Amino acid sequence: MTTKQATTTSNQFGTITLDPTPVVTPDNDGSGLLTRGRRPEWLRVKAADSPKYRELRGLFRGKHLHTVCEEAMCPNLGECWGRGTATFLLMGDTCTRSCGFCKIKTGRPGALDPDEPRRVAESIQAMGLHHAVLTSVNRDEQPDGGAWVFAESLYWIRRLVPGCTVEVLIPDFKGDWAALQAVMDARPEILNHNTETVPRLYKTVRPQAKYFRTLELLQRAKQMDPLALTKSGIMLGLGETWDEVLQVMDDMRAHDVDIITMGQYLQPSRFHLPIARYWTPDEFARLKEEGDARGFQWVESGPLVRSSYHADGQAHLSPRLDLVNQ
């Protein structure tokens, strides 16, 4: 096994350090990199394989599109694709950041594709979706972080699939509030930006992000469009304490977050952050009670919960739908 050297690039928008990534060599085909040891029974899922799954996989390949379901090795891929829902990954499959938990590769991304928003909308139309989730890699080298791709995708979805609700799971745009405004002006039903972990662990888990910038983004999004639902998620199993998780809940509610998701962190490979411990289904059930008591409109809490899990149901909470139906 050999590794590339870390590289740093600078331009008028700032400096990006790309961490080294493992290189697969002929004598190492990449097998054996997954976390060793048996997972608890409650974390075992069936392999993804159904007629609908194969149909969607073929559709994505034909449109040259990426899904975060595949790139992030989501354990719910089979279930979600089997019922005809998916999360589209915009702006390529290469991220300019190097979060210690994330399976998506880090590197120098290629140019943005101006036709991607139209192709995404066409795929949603072909799939007959009533709800779509759009997310992206971080594109810190772009002047607006790629905000225009979200806005343009929403435009095309409204044009081709006018009844489809949309959730956008966005990066932090490095605190560029004009970029956030461009996304909110496109009127998504749900604006999602994940908190990911407790503030004490940010330097390890999200070294290029800031906890209070995340909270400010969520609050500003609500101020920019009061009809949008705001949403955020946190992973458990990285070394956080029960009280720290409750404090994150309190911080989210103080910043007008409507929906929270909580799930178990699963180490994608031995090159990622280790699992500190497995939280039990009973603990996740107790966290749901804590979230309900704090006034979240929707609390999704369970070992296999991921950010977009049951997102189609959450969209029905949107006040915007009430106005449309009046």
Contact 74, 135 (CB under 8 A): no
Say how many domains are in the chain: 1
- Residue 39 maps to a domain: no
pLDDT along the chain (326 residues), means of 10: 41 36 34 55 68 61 54 54 71 88 87 95 88 92 96 98 94 97 98 97 94 98 98 97 98 98 92 93 98 98 88 85 61
pLDDT recorded at residue 126: 87
Give every CB contact of residue 12 below 8 A, 6+ residues apart in sequence: none
Contact 249, 286 (CB under 8 A): no
Secondary structure letter of residue 87 according to DSSP: E
- Residue 15 maps to a domain: no
- Residue 312 maps to a domain: yes
- Residue 162 maps to a domain: yes
What CATH number corresponds to the domain at position 102?
3.20.20.70
- Residue 12 maps to a domain: no
- Residue 79 maps to a domain: yes
318 by DSSP, 3-state: which? coil
Q: Kindly state the tokens that stand for 107.
A: 């590197």
- Residue 23 maps to a domain: no
pLDDT recorded at residue 70: 52
pLDDT recorded at residue 6: 43
pLDDT recorded at residue 106: 86
Q: What is the domain range of residue 114?
A: 47-325
pLDDT recorded at residue 310: 76
Give every CB contact of residue 326 below 8 A, 6+ residues apart in sequence: none
pLDDT recorded at residue 55: 64
Q: Kindly state the tokens that stand for 114.
A: 């101006």
pLDDT recorded at residue 67: 53
- Residue 28 maps to a domain: no
Identify which of 162, 148, 151, 157 has the alpha carbon closest to the alpha carbon of residue 118: 157
pLDDT tens by residue, 251-278? 999 999 999 999 999 998 888 999 999 9
